[in-house]
Structure formats: structure tokens, C-alpha cells
Amino acid sequence: MMTTLSSHLARLALLGGTLIATSAFAQPHALDAAASDPRTMGWMTGFPTAADRVIAPPASDYLSFPKLRWTFCHLREMQASRRVSRGLGPSSAMTSAPDSAIESLSFTPIGKDSDMTWRESLDANYTDGILIMHKGVIVYEYYSGCLNQAGRHGAMSVTKSFVGTVAEILIAEGTLDDSAPVTQYVPELANSAFGSATVREVMDMTTSLVFNEDYADPKADIWAYAAAGDPTPKPADYKGARNFYEYLQGVRKANEHGEVFRYKSVNTDVVAWVIARASGKDFLQHLEERLWQPLGMAQEADMMVDSLGTPLAAGGLSLGLRDAARFGQMMLQGGMYDGKRIIPEAVVTSIAGGGDPEKFASAGYSTLPGGSYRSQWWALHNENGAYSARGIHGQAIYIDPKAEMVIARFATYPISANAYIDPTSLPAYQAVADYLMGK
């Protein structure tokens, strides 16, 4: 029973963006960045791998630190997946002009008195890969742990921002009406919490849902959600929902929708379902046709799926670091890339403008004061107008329009909640932005 629960817990860590860090994940600094490097740990090496170096289901800990530092580059080896095809064209060129001054830039971590350098922040954050673009040129690029330029890394809830961007594309094109009720596209959700929600409310997560993400509670909704999305055959005595679509139909309403932002991954699955119904293609197909192929992504991407092949909209994408940066750079450029329009400018305007900070405030994100959430993206509402895609354990695509800077980062911080990694990353990003603006 514990194995099953822990396995679900682990699976859910892929999906959730909750602030709650529990004992299963809260092992901060058990091993530092160097000691937890999967090359040092020797996971999955040898023929066969020694029993204590194996990372695979049904062991319950394949998504817990430090094994997670290996797993994040190998998610497709854990379960069924679909690819996001890049097509057969050449990859788009990227220009590098490394700026060695960045390494020694210093900043003050949130809540600390002493400074830290950029380089020190990488280990503090268990960074697997980070890339900084300034005015479209790569000025910094770093890989560690399981990752290299040709590798891919779990994006976790950064996946949500890709989903939200696709939804905004359909809105800009008139295929999707964000003021319409969800049920206009998905009548099956009529009797669920989403039966009284608009498309905009699920996009902005201002729905009010009974959806318990308390990992310590074995009866929490999150377990049922995880079990529903598990693509492997269900146990004989399994009684729950058998896929994401089934699960969503049972989500109950809490209070009124539209009043406050509450981060619940199931909203993204609803957005994805709405996209599919509105357009006749699921968001993975849109990623291929509207982003991966026109952007000239250098690598295809992997997407985890449930037993019906439905993508894990809330967190199932693995992609290359440079490709994450390509996407961010396209957003920075208002939807343009290499002189071509990739997505409508209105998409970027809607996302970059952010949501309603008043609805966001009570959600309690201490590292994002004055922030907001819009179309599956996080807006900082800082002086630079920065906004970001964010995933647990430190995944990010951070866009700073004023500094003309994009940062793509993959990491494996031991605790899932970004509240623990933001203190040594958000001010670091600002320090780089300040430096680049002064060049």
C-alpha cells in the first residue's frame, strides 16, 4: 500500500505546482549539487545496473531526490509517451556570444543578508541547465547533471504555459471564445465544477475547486487524479477514474468561480480538453504545427500520456534547453522569430500583461509579491514587466521584456516548491537583467 501511495505521490509531483513541500520531497541539502550529480551517483550504469543503482517503477522513489536528478532527463523511460515532432526541416540557427562577466555577478538572495554570485546560485539551485539570451544572442549557457545540449529535461508545469499559449492562439484566431462556458466545448463537464466555469476562468485558474493536494492525506483528490492518469493497466480492484477526461468530470466546485486565483493542475487539463474540442486537434498537435516546426526546434519533445494517449497537459513535456529558449525568445519578440510571424501578437500581449494581482494576493506566494497568473503564465509585475513559465523543482522560462532577456532553466531542487528556489534565482535573474541593460 505504501508503495502504491508513494508511487502516486511521485507521479503527482510531476503535475502539481503546489507550495506544499512534504516529507517525501523535503530533503533539502541531503546531498549538495556535486554529490547528487547523477554521474557521481552512478544511476542506471552497468549491464545490468546494480540493484541499489536502479531507477525504475515499481520502486516508489524514482521521482524523489536525488534519483530525480537522473529521472528528469529520462522520463520517457518510466512510462508511455508521445513525441512532439519537429518535422524534418533544419533547426533554426542560434548565435552565441558568451559573456564571462555573468559568472561573477552578485545578488542578495531573498531573505538573506549576504550576497551570492551567479555561479554560486547554479549549485545552490541544483541547476541541470541554464541559458540566457540577450537581444536574441546566447550570452550564457550551462549544463550539469543529466543534461547536455542534445538532451531533454522534464519541464513539469512549464508545460502549462505551452497549453495556455495554444489556447491564446485559438482565441486570437477566433476559434475559441474565452468568455464562453467550458460546457460550450465540453458538455461532458456540465455536472462537474467546470460546468459553471468560463474558459477564461480555467485558463487563469480562478475556478474554485474541491481539489485537495495535501500529499500527507492518503484520501486526497490528488491521488485519484494521479491514478486516473497512470497509463499502465489498472489493478483488478481499481474503482476510480480511468483517464484524465473521466477524472475531470468528477471534480466538485468549492465556492464561486472568478474571485481568486488558486493553482490547481486540473484546470490545465480542462484547457487542453477545450482546445481539442474547439479545434479538432489536441494541444500536442498544435505544439508541433504552431511552435516546434515553425520555430525550427532542434529536437523533438516527449510528452507523457494517460491510457488514452491524452497528454499530461499539467506537466508532461520534456524538451531541450535551447528549444525552451527559442520559445521564450519568440514570446519576447511579440510572436516573431527569425523575421517570421509565428503566433499572433495578441497572444503575447494577453499573456505578458498578466492577470489580476488582487485575485492572486491571497494565494500566498511570498516570493511573487504583487504577481498574477494569466493564461497559464506567471506575471511578476516588476519594473521590467517580467513573466515566467514555472514548474516544480525549478523549471522556468523567464522573459524580461525591458532587459530584452530570456532565461531558460531546468533544475532538480530537492524540494518541489519554487518558493524554495526563488530566493536564489529571481534576484539572480534581476541582477543579470540589470547588468545586461547597462552594457
Residues 238-257: x/- map of binding to its own copies (CB under 8 A)? -----x-x------------
For residue 288, which of 92, 154, 87, 91 has the smallest C-alpha distance? 87
Catalytic pick from 6, 121, 144, 157? 157
Which three three-digit cell numbers place residue 192? 462537474
- Told to check if 135 binds its own copies by CB under 8 A, we report no
Distance spanning both ends of the chain, measured CA to CA: 58
Given 309, 344, 385, 401, the residue binding its own copies (CB under 8 A): 309
Give the interface segment with its own copies, choosing from 190-198, 274-282, 382-390, 411-419 (CB under 8 A). 274-282
Given 232, 255, 349, 362, the residue binding its own copies (CB under 8 A): 232
* Helix H or strand E segment including 68: helix 68-71
Give the interface segment with its own copies, choosing from 87-95, 126-134, 157-165, 399-407 (CB under 8 A). 87-95
For residue 422, which of 371, 369, 360, 367 has the smallest C-alpha distance? 367
- Told to check if 82 binds its own copies by CB under 8 A, we report yes
Answer whether 368's CB lies under 8 Å from 375's CB. no
Q: DSSP 3-state assignment of 184? A: helix
- Interacting residues with its own copies between 145 and 174 (CB under 8 A): 149-150
For residue 251, which of 186, 156, 184 has the smallest C-alpha distance? 186
Answer whether 365's CB lies under 8 Å from 19's CB. yes
Given 27, 61, 110, 231, the residue binding its own copies (CB under 8 A): 231
- The Cα 168–Cα 173 span in angstroms is 9
Given 34, 35, 80, 210, the residue binding its own copies (CB under 8 A): 80
Given 19, 54, 336, 363, the residue binding its own copies (CB under 8 A): 54
Residue 157 known to be catalytic: yes
- The Cα 222–Cα 6 span in angstroms is 12
Q: Which residues contact 265 (CB under 8 A, 6 or more apart)?
A: 15, 16, 17, 157, 160, 225, 314, 315
Least Cβ distance, residue 299 to its own copies (angstroms):
7
- Told to check if 409 binds its own copies by CB under 8 A, we report no
- Told to check if 307 binds its own copies by CB under 8 A, we report yes
- Told to check if 298 binds its own copies by CB under 8 A, we report yes
What are the angstrom distances between the C-alpha of 118 and each of 24, 99, 106, 413, 429?
A: 29, 12, 6, 16, 9
For its own copies, the closer of residues 176 and 432 by Cβ is 176
- Interacting residues with its own copies between 170 and 229 (CB under 8 A): none
Answer whether 401's CB lies under 8 Å from 349's CB. no
What are the angstrom distances between the C-alpha of 319 and each of 195, 292, 326, 358, 408?
A: 34, 10, 11, 34, 11
- Told to check if 269 binds its own copies by CB under 8 A, we report no
Which three three-digit cell numbers place residue 84? 512532439
User: Measured over all CA atoms, what is the biggest interatomic distance in the chain, rounded to whole angstroms?
Assistant: 64
- The Cα 327–Cα 351 span in angstroms is 14
- Told to check if 56 binds its own copies by CB under 8 A, we report yes
For its own copies, the closer of residues 2 and 88 by Cβ is 88
Given 88, 237, 339, 438, the residue binding its own copies (CB under 8 A): 88
- Told to check if 357 binds its own copies by CB under 8 A, we report no
For its own copies, the closer of residues 59 and 346 by Cβ is 59
Total residues at interface with its own copies (CB under 8 A): 42
Catalytic residues: 157
Q: Which spans of this chain sit near its own copies (rule: CB under 8 A)?
A: 44, 47-49, 54, 56-58, 74, 76-83, 85, 87-88, 90-91, 149-150, 231-234, 243, 245, 273, 276-277, 282, 298-300, 305, 307-310
